[in-house]
Structure 1
């Protein structure tokens, strides 16, 4: 079963096509690595899933629910972390999460649960404005995990973390499907981390999907095209470079 599925999903801003006829298939209970260079359309796609921007054409379903008909229920079931999360600086980490808890009408215990999951329990009373960038990223992830939703949409969740923090968050994300029976769509520029946590990947370039499938299938596909496929980073860079070359030849 696909937890997230898109059908020719397209987003156009003026004469710029940010996402073009995108057909994603994110299987239930997996970690799906959503990859692409800056401006490829990853964040735009994630924003469409969360109702933050409206598709120009095409459609998508999440957990069998269709947008825009089931928009509210989609949001209720989706935990999200998009770009750098914003918090009230004069409130503590705990108080910021409690605001989310009240909006979602969740039990008080969900705040402590989320803080513990991301390793912020000992810093919960500190004002958010005094949090380091890495701590703010953790707090954003805690907000996404509130109530343990069945779908998580995470955009660069390890941004600003030190190597130890990156390892901890990667281990946490990798464990989520089995622990909480959820599905994770995660984008990251740290391809070595995606290689360690993702079951499948989708690679975007200029708003178009170049590849979707398992890492093993990606390596085989790249090798069959004569591209280097020793690791995800090399394979990714070669796919993007080859696609850019083809695009320049068409001009």
Structure 2
């Protein structure tokens, strides 16, 4: 069963196309990795799912609900972390979550549950501005998942973190489908990151979908000419390079 399905989904701006007739299928209860270089269209695709930017063409459904007809119903089922997490620095982690709790009409117990999932219970009374970058990313995740949404959309959640912080966030993301019975859509420009956490991947370049499937299918179906050690990074880079050559784009 797929929880997100797009049909020729596109987003055009005056001078370029950010997303071009993309068809993806996101399986329920899995981690779906959107992979591509900066400017590939990953963030634009996620923003369309959240109603933050309007499609120029095509259509999509989330949990069998058509956008934009069922926009409000869709948003009630989706939690998101787009770009840098937003919160009030002068409030504690707990107070920031309480604001979201009140907006969503959730019980007070939901705050402790969210803090526990992301490992911030110990620091719930500290002002958010005094959190480390890794703790701020965790607070952003707590805000996204406090309502236990059916779908979590996470745009580059490890951006700017040191290796320890990256490992902690990756490990946390891997546990979310089982803990929350949810589906996670994760974007990154790093194959190594997606490879560790995603069940299915979609590779975007210049707004076009080049591949969708499992890591094993990527290994099986694409063999860079100079690859001798099964290096997936080479596979990814050659896919992008060949697509750029087809489009007449210089590296």
Q: TM-score of the superposition, structure 1-length normalised?
A: 0.94
Unaligned runs of 5+ in 1: none
Q: Does 1:4 align with 2:4?
A: yes
Q: Say if 1:100 and 1:143, in contact at 8 Å, map to a contact too.
A: yes
Asked if the contact 1:227/1:235 (under 8 Å) is kept, the reply is no
CA distance in 2, matches of 1:221, 1:41: 23
Map 1:92-171 → 2, pairs under 5 A: 92-171=92-171
Alpha-carbon deviation of 1:45? 0.4
**Matched position secondary structure for 2:172:** helix
Question: What do the CA deviations read for 1:34-66 (whole angstroms, capped 9, x no partner)?
Answer: 011111100000000001011111110001111
Q: Does 1:180 align with 2:144?
A: no
Aligned length: 249
Written as runs of structure 1 = structure 2, the 5 A alignment for 1:219-230 is 219-223=219-223, 226=225, 228=227, 230=230
> What is the distance in 2 between the residues matched to 1:104 and 1:119?
22
Q: Partner residue of 1:66?
A: 66
Alpha-carbon spacing, 1:249–1:196, altered in 2? closer, same or farther (3 Å)? closer
Tell me the SS of whatever aligns to 1:106: coil
Instruction: Output the CA distance in 1 between the equivalents of 2:122 and 2:162.
Output: 18
Equivalent pair of 1:227/1:238 in contact (CA under 8 Å) = no
User: Which stretch shows the higher mean deviation, 1-10 or 186-195?
Assistant: 186-195
Shift of residue 145, structure 1, vs aligned partner:
1.1
Deviation at residue 249 of structure 1 after TM alignment: 7.6
List alignment gaps of at least 5 residues for structure 2.
none
Q: Secondary structure at the match of 2:135?
A: helix
Quick check: 173-182 or 210-219, which moved more?
A: 173-182
The separation in 2 between residues aligned to 1:142 and 1:39, in whole angstroms, is 27
The answer to which of 36-45 and 151-160 deviates more is 151-160
- 2:52 is paired with a residue whose SS is coil
**Structure 1, 150-159 or 203-212: larger mean CA deviation:** 150-159
Aligned to 1:32: 32
Q: Which SS does the other structure have where 1:185 is aligned?
A: strand
Structure 1 outlier segments of 4+, above 6 Å: none
Residue 75 of structure 1 corresponds to 75
Q: Which residue of the partner structure matches residue 215 of structure 2? A: 215
Q: Deviations over 1:171-224 (max 9, x none)?
A: 22112222322111001233222111111100000000000001111111212x
1:98-157 deviation per Cα after TM superposition (whole angstroms, max 9, x unaligned): 111111111111111111111111211111122222221111111111121110100011
Structure 2 CA distance, aligned partners of 1:246 and 1:124?
A: 52
